[in-house]
Amino acid sequence: MESNTSQNVTADRTLELSGAQMQQLIDLVMPHLRAFLDSLAEQPAWSFDGAAAVARSVMEPLPTAGTDPAIVFRRLFEELLPVGVNTAGPGYLAYVPGGGVPHAAIADLIAATVNRFVGLWNGAPGLAQLEVAVLRWFSDIVGYPASAGGFFTSGGSLSIWSAIVTARRCGLRGELSRGTLYTSHQAHHSVAKAAMFAGLPPENVRLVPVDSAYRVRVDAMIELIQHDRRDGFVPFAIVGHAGTTNTGAVDDLAELADLAAAENLWLHVDAAYGGFFMLTERGRGLMRGIERADSITLDPHKGLFLPYGTGCLLARDQNHLRQAHQLRGEYLMPGPEEEFFDLSDISPELTRAARGLRVWLPLMLHGVEPFRNNLEEKLDLTVFAAEQLRLLDEELDDHLEVITDPQLTVVAFRLVRAGLTDEQIDDLNIGLRDVINASRRVLLTPTRLHGRYVIRICILSFRTHRDRVEDCLEEIRRAVREV
């Protein structure tokens, strides 16, 4: 039998792209990206034409040989990408948009090419510290002191998860099964999901009623906490909101901070949607008290217009993150001394991409002003949209109800027709949303408020300007007359 000696070892160097080969691939993909960017305003806001066929077409066996890159890129851009929701375009007014500044793609290209890990400071001191620097900027934006720190996550959900784990590990004295957490009835479902991941019984998440502006009722929260304590539960955390998904409501964070202090509870603020409005004067007015929260979730892939995959968690005292997350293996290099630290000691991940680079690069290239200006513009556009809907209401026989005055950049509305039952009004609005979206100039998504179906306009993409909001209003004007 032939032995497998070292002479038989062959080296397959196919994957070791030279600089020139890398350049060739980039040159092949760039025309597609240019065409994509330059046609964004004309592209439909959504298209599900042939969605199932496209999805099925990718379920192929593992390729044994390579395919011409020109064919692969063409397939991606011509067949796969046009189907679905155009989250990069100006007509995406659904859920919570952001748009995705393309500078971040350049940062990702660099980060993936140099392939540094940042979980351990020694691995890439420059890149790891750059994340710490960006998180310092964020801490300054929310008004946190020098003791603050944080880390980047893939999005808001995982940030809230780590926040609740931190609250539990630092603040819950007693059995987990008796621990209770208080949040708004309007909370994003990621709060309940995070509590579930953190091991809390789902029924121990108390959804507190809201006022007419959809802000949590602190008086009701106090009552619930007292009631729970009498029943032997152990309240340990409050999750407040700086911008709910449904209506953009901002809770009274100063009052929540007072309550948390009085009851010795951890205060987390879900500012995934609204946090970066702290860059504006109006936002700072609304979110007064956020700096007193123990931890804050921010989602740069929403209010800082980053591409998806960029969330973050901040804590007013970084030591709390360490207390909740630190655990080391003996195979790891020792951490740095004093001034510096390993990000893996204060966060759940070890090996991960240098996520901070994609936030740092656009801020370095442009400074913060264009971000602030865009947020101011979106606040103005939302006021404009709400005003226009109210003017439209005056022209109609039906009632076009604007649910609340906008606090941030969501306007929720619904059409109410006299003589219909609640269910029939819901159906009317389901039809209305379909007619508005049928133009494909915009995509609006609905929600339910107090059980009733409402349509939301969320204006947050940096590519959405007055012209597209006017298009949206025009589609609504046309649709309310059609349904």
Ligand X SMILES: Cc1ncc(COP(=O)(O)O)c(C=O)c1O
Interaction site with ligand X (CB under 6 A): 95-96, 155-157, 188, 190, 243-245, 270, 272-273, 299, 311
> Who contacts 483 (Cβ-Cβ below 8 Å, separation ≥6)?
415, 428, 431, 432, 435
Query: Which of 240, 167, 236 is closest to 197 using CA atoms?
Result: 167
As measured in angstroms, the least distance from the Cβ of 441 to ligand X is: 23
If the CB atoms of residues 90 and 300 are measured against ligand X, the closer one turns out to be 300
- Number of neighbouring beta carbons within 10 Å of residue 45: 23
If the CB atoms of residues 89 and 156 are measured against ligand X, the closer one turns out to be 156
As measured in angstroms, the least distance from the Cβ of 159 to ligand X is: 8
As measured in angstroms, the least distance from the Cβ of 22 to ligand X is: 31
Structure tokens that stand for 382 in this block: 């939302």
As measured in angstroms, the least distance from the Cβ of 131 to ligand X is: 18
154 DSSP assignment: S
To the nearest 10°, report the CA torsion of 87, 91, 96, 97.
50
**Which residue's Cβ lies closest to ligand X?**
156
If the CB atoms of residues 156 and 240 are measured against ligand X, the closer one turns out to be 156
The three-state secondary structure class of 225 is helix
If the CB atoms of residues 86 and 184 are measured against ligand X, the closer one turns out to be 184
What is the distance, to the nearest Å, from the Cα of residue 344 to the centroid of all Cα atoms in its chain? Answer: 22
As measured in angstroms, the least distance from the Cβ of 95 to ligand X is: 6
- Number of neighbouring beta carbons within 10 Å of residue 220: 16
Query: What are the backbone dihedrals phi and psi of residue 408, each rounded to the nearest 5 degrees, phi first?
Result: -115, -110
If the CB atoms of residues 270 and 426 are measured against ligand X, the closer one turns out to be 270
If the CB atoms of residues 165 and 432 are measured against ligand X, the closer one turns out to be 165
As measured in angstroms, the least distance from the Cβ of 308 to ligand X is: 8
As measured in angstroms, the least distance from the Cβ of 302 to ligand X is: 7
d(CA 436, CA 281): 33
If the CB atoms of residues 403 and 428 are measured against ligand X, the closer one turns out to be 403
- Strand duo 410-416 + 445-449: pairing: unpaired
For residue 39, CA distances in Å to 45, 260, 450 come to 12, 50, 40
